[in-house]
Structure 1
Amino acid sequence: MSRRVRTTGPAAAAQPARCTVTVCRGCCCGTSKIPGLDHAEQLARLRQALADTAQVRVTGCLDACEHGNVMVVQPSATGRAAGGRPVWLGLVNDSDATADIADWITAGGPGLADPPGILDLYAFTPSRRIRRAVEG
């Protein structure tokens, strides 16, 4: 049984579009190459904090290993209409950063809420080739 949200039909119209958080768990992110962090716990806490607010998905390598652990926060449809664009965050290697990301998304995310200033330290711009693959 699929856990996907329907994107067409009357059921989709009743459900607001939500932010999507893509969490890299490829060759470096989420592995012992980044020590001192319980990666499974990080993902579980993020999913729990955003259960009613955003879709959290896990992907293979995003090819930004120098920034591991990487997360990409894509705006909701409302956030995109308000000018929000995907935000790439790297070095998300502590629970405080994960909590800050969850709080920002709960407040609306890209286009709808200003991120906590500390997240400026985590933001980076990947190459166009990498961005296209994820933001498509």
Structure 2
Amino acid sequence: MSRRTRREASAGAPASPCTVTVCRGCCCGTEAKHPGVDHLGQFSRLKEGVGDAGRVRAVPCLDVCAHSNVVVVNPSSEGRRAGGRPVWLGWVVQEDMVEEIVDWVRAGGPGVAEPPGTLDLQEFAVSRRVRESLDSGS
């Protein structure tokens, strides 16, 4: 399907919010890799903070363990129409990072709002293979 065809198809589709995907695989979200980090608490704060502004989900492994803890912020349908693309964030272990993700999603997320604070310093690029595995419902 071409980009134009996708755009036309999504024009009549109901709006979808930002989706925040939190890796909770072999390295991310583990006490062994990040002792002292309240992983369950972080996930709960993301879900509660994002609320109705988006969707938060956990997945087993995103296959980018060198960047643990990994969070991917996918744009809303509005953000995609504005050119927003998924943003991969690594080393999300501090509470202020969680709060910045919440603030960003509540402001509209990728394509709609700039990432707050120093969140852009956590961004990293992934291979096409890894991106596609997330798109396919990894």
TM range (shorter): 0.7 to 0.9
RMSD: 1.2
Aligned to 2:101: 101
Partner of 2:66: 66
State the TM-score, normalizing by the size of structure 1. 0.86
Q: What is the SS of the residue equivalent to 1:52?
A: helix
Cα deviation, residue 117, structure 1: 4.4
Deviation at 1:30, TM superposition (A): 0.4
1:42 aligns with 2:51: no
Identity %: 56
Asked whether the 8 Å contact 1:86–1:135 carries over to 2, the reply is no
Distance 1:43 1:105 in 2: 14
Cα distance in 2, alignment partners of residues 38 and 104 from structure 1: 21
Moved over 6 A (4+): none
CA contact (8 A) 2:18 2:54 kept: yes
1-side partners of 2:82 and 2:120: how far apart? 20
Q: Distance in 2 between matches of 1:80 and 1:112?
A: 9
| CA distance in structure 2 between the partners assigned to 1:126 and 1:83 by the alignment | 18
Once residues 117 and 132 of structure 1 are traced to their aligned partners in structure 2, the CA distance between those partners, rounded to angstroms, is 29
Aligned partners of 1:135, 1:72: CA distance in 2, in Å? 11
- Distance between the aligned counterparts of 1:59 and 1:128, measured in 2? 18
| Residue 106 to residue 79, structure 1, CA distance change in 2 (3 Å) | same
* Helix, strand or coil at the partner of 1:29: coil
For the Cα contact (< 8 Å) 2:100–2:117, is it kept in 1? no
Tell me what 2:5 maps to. Answer: none
Q: Secondary structure at the match of 1:58?
A: strand
Report the AA paired with residue 27 of structure 1: C
Distance 1:97 1:36 in 2: 16
| Number of residue pairs the alignment of both structures matches | 123
For residues 126 and 36 of structure 2, the distance between their equivalents in structure 1, rounded to whole angstroms, comes to 25
What CA deviation, in whole Å up to 9, does each residue of 1:6-61 have, x standing for no partner?
xxxxxx84xx3100010000000000111221000000000000111111010011
Ranges in structure 1 where 5+ consecutive residues have no aligned partner: 1-11
One-letter identity of the residue aligned with 2:41: E
